[in-house]
Amino acid sequence: MINLPELYNRKTKAIEHENTYKVEGLVFLYRNFFGRALTFSVLNKHLVSKMYGRWVKSTRSVGQISGFVKHYDINTDEIREPLNSFPCFNDFFIRELKDGARPVDNTPAHLISPADSRLLVFDLSKNIDLPVKGYWYKLEDLVRDKKLVDDYAEGWCFIYRLAPSDYHRYAYIDDGSQQEVKILQGVLHSVNPIALSVTKSLLAKNYRELTLLRTDNFGDVLQLEVGALLVGKVIQHHRQSYSFKRGEEKGYFEFGGSTIIQLFKKGSVKPDSDIAEYSLKNIESLVKLGEKVGVGLS
């Protein structure tokens, strides 16, 4: 029996179960002996991800779009281009939305979500390791920098998990400037809870990109974009120093589910109470890009 992850819907204030695409395949890859052998020896390598990436960018993949839309009941009215205009599945996956489809909360003190996702928050002052779906992830393994660990050890960690059905473009959370993007090499695993539950320190193993964001209202924020199984690319619009605006698009993930991790220093932010409450129960909250998820304390 497959136990689908529980999610908290902030709008309905109800608990839902995640609608996972091709979940049987994930169960085979991460819970079956032969599937695990295949995943850890072959599938999580960048070459395989790159090959699959070529397929989803080919015209042969266009037939997947209609089934994907139906399975997830995706709102096609908010998509900028007509559904029949996409030449391949990847172009649909990285689709742009119409202006106003994701309104941004512009109240300076309001912390906003960078993406459509499922959100967990952790108080690092209580434990510097991150408990995610039954496993612990060391902060130092994630950022590979002892000084950064010391700087953020007493603050908050926000983990935004993007499911395949989500809008896969992500935005800056405030006005400010960034330093050069740093690449942390790794292998590629699914970030679905099925994979998280059986792969030790999975987020620390995945390919990720780290950016130091100097924000006007939340201080220095560390942001990591984490690649996932069958995702070969994290697309950044700006890899060098750059000044940005709240809600401006920072980049997007190509095909697959992915994760954004944000680290905040002590005394800089406080998550909304409902998100904090459900995170203590290890239940993710559904959030949209631009939606308020906390407040700044500075």
pLDDT in tens, 46-80: 555 566 667 888 999 899 899 889 988 999 999 99
Give residue 246's identity as a one-letter amino acid code.
Answer: R
Selecting among 113, 116, 190, 285, the annotated active-site residue is 116
> Looking at residue 50, what is its pLDDT?
64
Q: What percent of the chain has pLDDT over 90?
A: 56
Give the residue, 36 or 207, on which the prediction is more confident. Answer: 207
Residue 294's Cβ-count burial label (10 Å; 0-12, 13-18, 19+) is buried
Quick one: tokens of 21?
């695409």
> Looking at residue 99, what is its pLDDT?
96
Whether 29 shows a pLDDT value over 60: the answer reads no
User: Residue 201 — φ and ψ, nearest 5°?
Assistant: 50, 45
Q: Which element (helix H / strand E) includes 70? A: helix 64-72
Beta bridge partners, 118, equal 161, 286
DSSP conformation letters of 244-288: E-TT-EEEEE-SS-EEEEEEE-TTSEEE-HHHHHHHHTT-EEEE-
Quick one: tokens of 85?
């205009």
Residue 182's Cβ-count burial label (10 Å; 0-12, 13-18, 19+) is middle
Give dist(CA 89, CA 95) in Å, integer.
10
User: What number of helices (H) and strands (E) belong to the chain?
Assistant: 10, 19
Among 10-24, 27-41, 53-67, where is mean pLDDT lowest? 27-41
Confidence of residue 156 (pLDDT cuts 50, 70, 90): very high
Return the exposure string of 135-173: e unless at least 16 CB atoms fall within 10 Å of the residue's CB, then b. Answer: bebebbebbebeebbebbeebbbbbbbbbbbbbbbbbbb
Beta bridge partners, 284, equal 7
Selecting among 61, 190, 258, 279, the annotated active-site residue is 258
> Looking at residue 254, what is its pLDDT?
86
Confidence of residue 3 (pLDDT cuts 50, 70, 90): low
177 is catalytic: no
Whole-model pTM: value is 0.85
Distances (CA, A) of 298 to 111, 121, 269: 12, 19, 8
Distances (CA, A) of 200 to 39, 78, 106, 135: 14, 38, 39, 6
> Looking at residue 228, what is its pLDDT?
62
Query: How many Cβ atoms are within 10 Å of 220's Cβ, its own excluded?
Result: 17
Q: What percent of the chain has pLDDT over 70?
A: 76
pLDDT digits 0-9 by tens, 265-287? 999 999 999 999 999 998 999 99
Nearest Cα neighbor of 253 from 241, 270, 235 is: 235
Nearest Cα neighbor of 116 from 95, 88, 87 is: 95
151 is catalytic: no
Give dist(CA 289, CA 249) in Å, integer.
10
| DSSP state for residue 215 in the 8-state scheme | E
Give the residue, 227 or 200, on which the prediction is more confident. Answer: 227
